[in-house]
Amino acid sequence: MNTILLGFVASLLAGLGTFIGALPVVFIPTISQRLEAILLGFGGGVMLAATAFSLIVPGTDAAIEQGHSQAIAALIMVLGILFGGWCLNFIHTNFPHEHFFKSDEGDTI
């Protein structure tokens, strides 16, 4: 199959999956806090697995392919993860934003 057509079909299926996955939000107005916690935990687990399998492992492999030892490749990935965490914390503390369950940052509601 043509690569561009395959990419188009794969993107279309991914978008359709997102649409179908979002439908319950439209038709179910409220959910229990217990179900919400379960769904948020599931979503967090999926994102953590995506991080590990789709970013960290290929990043380490790419560093090894560029000639670094496994230890240096792992160090590069650890430094990258720490730098990403630092960037998120920097953005969180220096840019105004609101939280879903409390008002402006710093308020104790």
Interface residue with Zn ion, options 47, 105, 106, 109 (CB under 5 A) = 105
CB of 92 to Zn ion, least distance (A): 5
Which alpha helices (DSSP H) does the chain contain, by range?
Answer: 3-27, 33-51, 57-65, 70-94
Residue 19 or 95 with smaller CB distance to Zn ion: 95
Q: Number of residues in contact with Zn ion, rule: CB under 5 A?
A: 1
Q: For residues 12 and 48, what is the distance between their CA atoms, to the nearest angstrom?
A: 24
- Find the part of the chain contacting Zn ion (CB under 5 A) among 39-47, 55-63, 80-88, 100-108: 100-108
Q: In this structure, which amino acid lies at residue 69?
A: S
Residues of this chain that interact with Zn ion (CB under 5 A) are 105
